[in-house]
Amino acid sequence: ALQQAGWVRGLITQNVDRLHHRAGSRPVVELHGALAEVECLACRTLVDRNEVQADLHELNPGFCEEAAGQVAPDGDADLPKAAVERFRVAPCRICGGVLKPNVVFFGENVPRQTVDAAWRTWDEAPAILVLGSSLTVFSGFRFVKRAARDGKPIAIVNLGPTRGDDLSELKVDVPLEERLPALAETLAAG
């Protein structure tokens, strides 16, 4: 709603769930990639995760039924050793290489083209609005740091402290689900 009303021009996110896309946000720079895509580490081909899931189901018939009930709410699983030993990993359909989710894991760098796209979005912004991030990870915090250095206004809405609190002109310490709809309504009213 904030984008459609013209208050937000672009979005840089650390989320990997594509929910910003589903909400209609455009453009969105995904700093840490997206779980909806899988990348081949050899040929760098990107494929839809659903294709890989289909390959995994085909390569491992009955695995999901065998693992059912073993998965904890956080996604961890205590699987029988035999099931793990039988499991076959899907290779890249193009070159047979190893696949990984198209996300930046801890210790990896954000790809240069993604950083460049984020800086272009930052350059076009008259101010920075941080929503729902502690800014603990430097890949997001760097934009706030530079905004503070360059005199670009910063507002943060987050429940709890953030790494950027001392750099912001405004810090609102409330859950987003309380404040964001009210902000959208206020701005829409003029």
Nearest Cα to Cα of residue 96 among 45, 36, 35, 37? 45
Instruction: Give the strand pairing for 99-103 and 33-40.
Output: antiparallel
Q: Torsion angle, CA of 127/133/136/138, rounded to 10 degrees?
A: -40
What does the alpha-carbon distance between residue 169 and residue 28 come to, in Å, rounded to a whole number?
24
User: Is the peptide bond prior to 27 cis by the omega test (within 30 degrees of 0)?
Assistant: yes
Residues designated as active site: 32
Asked whether the beta carbons of 46 and 97 are under 8 A apart, the reply is no
Q: Torsion angle, CA of 23/29/30/32, rounded to 10 degrees?
A: -160
Asked whether the beta carbons of 26 and 3 are under 8 A apart, the reply is yes
